[in-house]
Amino acid sequence: MLRTWHAGTLLSDAEALSFSRRSHLYGDGVFETMRVHQGRICFWESHYFRLMASMRILRMDIPIAWGPDELEAEILSCAQSSGDLRVRLSVWREGGLGYAPQTGAIDWALQVEPIPGASYPHPVQELKVDLFQEHKKASGLLSTLKMSQSALYILAAQFAQEQGLDDAILLTTDNRLLETSRGNLFVLKDATLSTAPLSDGALRGVMREQVLRLASGFGWTVKEEALSPFALLEADEVWMTNAVSGVSAVTAYRKTTYATEQATRMQNALRASALR
């Protein structure tokens, strides 16, 4: 019989449930962080299909009732507000101790939090960043997923806090630019917009997908390529993108500073696209 103690106190079966979840024990889960604006999930279709793909990759059972319309309605029934909301849908595999899963069945939870401000993010946030070099991110399909196991991002965010920065840039194992602790990374130089390829382990970000889709309308050449950190010294603009903030503009990397005009243009385009 499995028994659980917390801080020296023996818990009842009901109290021990949260400590026995595989998301807690092994990080055996995925999540989607979404923005709800005016009663709509921004870029819901992209979030939905990424979630479905992630669950299939992790060999989780997808509930029959989780069609795109049904799951959207379920989320919005819990996320009702006149303001903007940050919504995190966490999905984890059922079962207890042991690496080998006893089942593919899942459980899930939804966390809803108000976002300060009255509208979809505008103007862009401004960030100061540096490189996080203590640990690197490996390539591979699992590296592209938003998994419950997030130690690398936690350590990068902690590094940024300790250094008085807003964010930190993660590197590949061969020291190429990859992403930040908060989202995907874009480098704009002249009329070329570059971001790390998924094959290098970059997060399959929903906002990354939207920026790549919209960039051609700006007359830019889009490249998914591995960039050296030296590219930061020559860039016109550097961005971080995620589903909650849209585009955030890096304004300073060490002694290098950047403009923000094109980030604002892209933010406006994203806002318009989200509200269609």
pLDDT of res. 185: 98
pTM of the model: 0.93
Omega cis (within 30) before 123: yes
CA distances for 73 relative to 67, 80, 90, 110, angstroms: 10, 11, 16, 13
pLDDT of residue 142: 95
Task: Please give the class, per CATH, of domain 125-274.
Answer: alpha beta
β-bridge mates for residue 70, sequence order: none
> CA–CA separation, 15 vs 180, rounded Å?
36
For the chain, give every domain's residue range: 16-114, 125-274
DSSP assignment string, the chain: ----EETTEEPPHHHHGGGG-HHHHH--EEEEEEEEETTEETTHHHHHHHHHHHHHHTTPPPPTT--HHHHHHHHHHH---SS-EEEEEEEEE---SSSS-S---EEEEEEEEE-SSSSS--S-EEEEEEE--SS-BPPSGGGGS-BS--HHHHHHHHHHHHTT-SEEEEEBTTS-EEEESSSEEEEEETTEEEE--GGGT----HHHHHHHHHHGGGT-EEEE--B-TTHHHH-SEEEEEETTTEEEEEEEETTEE---HHHHHHHHHHHHHHT-
* pLDDT value, residue 1: 67
Q: Please report, in tens digits, the pLDDT of each residue of the chain (276 residues total).
A: 678 888 888 888 888 888 888 998 899 999 999 999 888 999 999 999 999 999 999 999 999 999 999 999 999 999 887 788 999 999 999 988 899 998 899 999 999 999 987 567 677 899 999 999 999 999 999 999 999 999 999 999 999 999 999 999 999 999 999 999 999 999 999 999 999 999 999 999 999 999 999 998 999 999 999 899 999 999 999 999 999 999 999 999 999 999 999 999 999 999 988 877
Structure token digits, residue 54? 């992630």
pLDDT of residue 118: 59
Find out if CATH 3.30.470.10 is the number for domain 16-114. Answer: yes
What pLDDT is stored for residue 88 in this prediction? 97
